[in-house]
Amino acid sequence: NAGVTQTPKFQVLKTGQSMTLQCAQDMNHEYMSWYRQDPGMGLRLIHYSVGAGITDQGEVPNGYNVSRSTTEDFPLRLLSAAPSQTSVYFCASRSRGQQFFGPGTRLTVL
């Protein structure tokens, strides 16, 4: 199993650009989540999904969209990037309470 995979590893955007962070898991987990990690703030939940076709907002959803068309994939879309979205983004999937995190995407918005 590859576990949770994320692409790209690094990305630089200009303010106002849009992009999609990809996340995929091959463990057939129903639950998937997106977090952002900022220094001194731990990880904060952006959006999560309890299964294909079902998503909900977390703590910090503004500026981000998600969709879940398949069990495997859970992409995160930035519609109009802002410098405040500079962060490291982690995707996770969950099984029986244990969350498995991907390696992260480091995003810089200039």
Partner 1 sequence: QQQVKQSPQSLIVQKGGISIINCAYENTAFDYFPWYQQFPGKGPALLIAIRPDVSEKKEGRFTISFNKSAKQFSLHIMDSQPGDSATYFCAASRLKGVASGSRLTFGEGTQLTVNP
Residues that bind partner 1 (CB under 8 A): 4, 31-33, 35, 40-45, 48-50, 56, 58, 90, 92, 94, 97-104
Of the two residues 44 and 77, which places its CB atom closer to partner 1 in the complex? 44
Measured at the CA of 86, the angle between CA 11 and CA 51, to 5 degrees, comes to 80
Of the two residues 74 and 85, which places its CB atom closer to partner 1 in the complex? 74
The count of C-alpha atoms lying within 13 angstroms of the C-alpha of 73, restricted to the half-sphere facing its C-beta, is 10
Residues 6+ apart with CB under 8 A from 16: 80, 81
Name beta bridge partners: 77: 20, 65
The count of C-alpha atoms lying within 13 angstroms of the C-alpha of 58, restricted to the half-sphere facing its C-beta, is 19
**Least gap, CB of 104 to partner 1 (angstroms):** 5
**Least gap, CB of 102 to partner 1 (angstroms):** 5
Of the two residues 4 and 78, which places its CB atom closer to partner 1 in the complex? 4
**Least gap, CB of 63 to partner 1 (angstroms):** 19
**Least gap, CB of 84 to partner 1 (angstroms):** 19
The length of the chain, given as a count of residues: 110
Name beta bridge partners: 83: none
Of the two residues 13 and 36, which places its CB atom closer to partner 1 in the complex? 36
